[in-house]
């Protein structure tokens, strides 16, 4: 199979500066929302706070009224909030978060013509089941390991392989139906960044490429279903799902995370040595 790397944009220095700017703003909003995650808060409330913060920064929430490639139904809210068995694209609403839930918050800003896309899974309260901790910490580590593969000359397959190699031996599965994506002036661009793959296969990375990596990890099988709202993706077997996402730049020597955060993520980065006691 041929991969036309010519269809993948290489950003100029000016474009990279703009991507850094929007990435930082998206990271700030994600941190702010994380601090608001607690039992009793509705996902609509998180949406409202994110929407206002986005506008305050002079940015636009890219999800609002976004139409997927096939979709006729525009996304009705400014962020995605995906609770427990929701894999991605959960729509904020009247649901009040409860102790022990996990919730992924996915933020995409559009600022000065460029997109920054980032998400994290947060713990609601501190009484968190072993399964919820496992899937969340596996997803977090999968993103870190995938980013560590990124450098000029590496292949897209190396990213998917690193994720599978960590998740599957721990009894988790990697979602196939949604992928990371090139990003820039377009929200979803080439290349498609699969979270499963084989080392040494797929597109060869080049400095100046910008794309997201956003592994979705389930405690059960990888199959998903879309609800009647045309957006909400849930695990087919009802098992838990967690996800982390960064927007990444391929640099001359490796990777730069564009969606940097101002500080440690509240209500998420709370089990620091998880894999020391759960190897
Ligand atoms: N932010 C999601 C992603 O990571 C896409 C959300 S599209 C929406 O690609 F319309 F659901 F918001
Ligand atoms: Co994305
Ligand atoms: Co996203």
Nearest in space to 215 (alpha carbons), one of 180, 239, 250, 182: 180
How many angstroms separate the CA atoms of 48 and 85, rounded? 23
Confidence of residue 21 (pLDDT cuts 50, 70, 90): very high
Ligand 1: residues whose CB is within 6 Å? 63, 66, 75, 80, 89, 106, 108, 117, 212, 214, 231, 245
Residue closest via CA to ligand 1's atom 2 equals 106
Residue closest via CA to ligand 1's atom 3 equals 117
3-state secondary structure of 103: strand
How many angstroms separate the CA atoms of 238 and 86, rounded? 9
Radius of gyration of the chain (CA): 17
Mean pLDDT of 124-149: 98
Signed CA dihedral, 59, 73, 192, 106: sign only:
positive
Mutate which of 67, 75, 119, 248 for ligand 1 pocket (most atoms within 8 A of beta carbon): 75
Per the CB < 8 A criterion, the answer to whether 194 and 179 are in contact is yes
Q: How much distance in Å is there from the Cα of 129 to the middle of ligand 2?
A: 27
Q: What pLDDT is stored for residue 1 in this prediction?
A: 53
The tokens 């072993």 sit on which residue? 130
Atom of ligand 1 nearest to the CA of 89: 11
Q: How much distance in Å is there from the Cα of 196 to the middle of ligand 2?
A: 16
Atom of ligand 1 nearest to the CA of 231: 11
Residue 125: left if φ>0, alpha if ψ -120 to 50, beta else—which one? left
Q: What pLDDT is stored for residue 214 in this prediction?
A: 99
Per the CB < 8 A criterion, the answer to whether 101 and 83 are in contact is yes
Angstrom distances, CA of residue 131 to CA of 18, 82, 144, 278:
39, 17, 20, 12
Mean pLDDT of 45-56: 99
Confidence of residue 121 (pLDDT cuts 50, 70, 90): very high
Mean pLDDT of 9-34: 98
Mean pLDDT of the chain: 96
Mutate which of 104, 108, 245 for ligand 1 pocket (most atoms within 8 A of beta carbon): 108
User: What is the pTM assigned to this prediction?
Assistant: 0.97
Angstrom distances, CA of residue 93 to CA of 29, 41, 115, 211:
19, 11, 25, 29
Atom of ligand 1 nearest to the CA of 68: 10
Is residue 140 over pLDDT 60? yes
**DSSP bridge pairs for 123:** 102
Per the CB < 8 A criterion, the answer to whether 18 and 9 are in contact is no
User: What percent of the chain is predicted at pLDDT more than 70?
Assistant: 97
**DSSP bridge pairs for 181:** 192
């Amino acid at each position: 199979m041929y991969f036309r790397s010519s269809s993948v944009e290489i950003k100029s220095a000016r474009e990279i500066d703009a991507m850094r700017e929007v990435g930082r703003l998206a990271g700030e909003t994600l941190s702010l929302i994380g601090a608001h995650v607690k039992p009793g808060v509705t996902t609509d409330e998180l949406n409202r706070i994110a929407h206002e913060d986005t506008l305050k920064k002079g940015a636009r929430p890219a999800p609002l009224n976004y139409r997927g490639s096939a979709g006729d139904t525009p996304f009705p809210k400014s962020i995605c909030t995906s609770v427990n068995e929701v894999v991605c694209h959960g729509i904020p609403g009247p649901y009040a978060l409860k102790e022990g839930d996990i919730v992924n918050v996915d933020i995409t800003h559009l600022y000065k013509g460029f997109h920054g896309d980032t998400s994290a899974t947060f713990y609601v309260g501190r009484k968190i089941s072993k399964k919820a901790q496992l899937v969340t910490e596996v997803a977090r580590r999968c993103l870190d390991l995938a980013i560590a593969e990124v450098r000029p000359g590496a292949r897209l397959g190396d990213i998917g392989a690193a994720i599978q190699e960590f998740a599957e031996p721990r009894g988790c599965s990697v979602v196939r139906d949604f992928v990371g994506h090139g990003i820039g002036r377009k929200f979803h661009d080439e290349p498609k960044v699969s979270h499963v793959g084989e080392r040494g296969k797929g597109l060869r990375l080049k400095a100046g490429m910008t794309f997201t990596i956003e592994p979705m990890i389930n405690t059960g099988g990888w199959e998903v279903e879309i609800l009647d709202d045309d957006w909400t993706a849930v695990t087919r077997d009802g098992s838990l799902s967690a996800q982390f996402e960064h927007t990444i730049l391929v640099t001359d020597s490796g990777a730069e995370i564009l969606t940097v955060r101002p500080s440690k993520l509240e209500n998420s980065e709370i089990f620091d040595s998880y894999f020391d006691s759960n190897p």
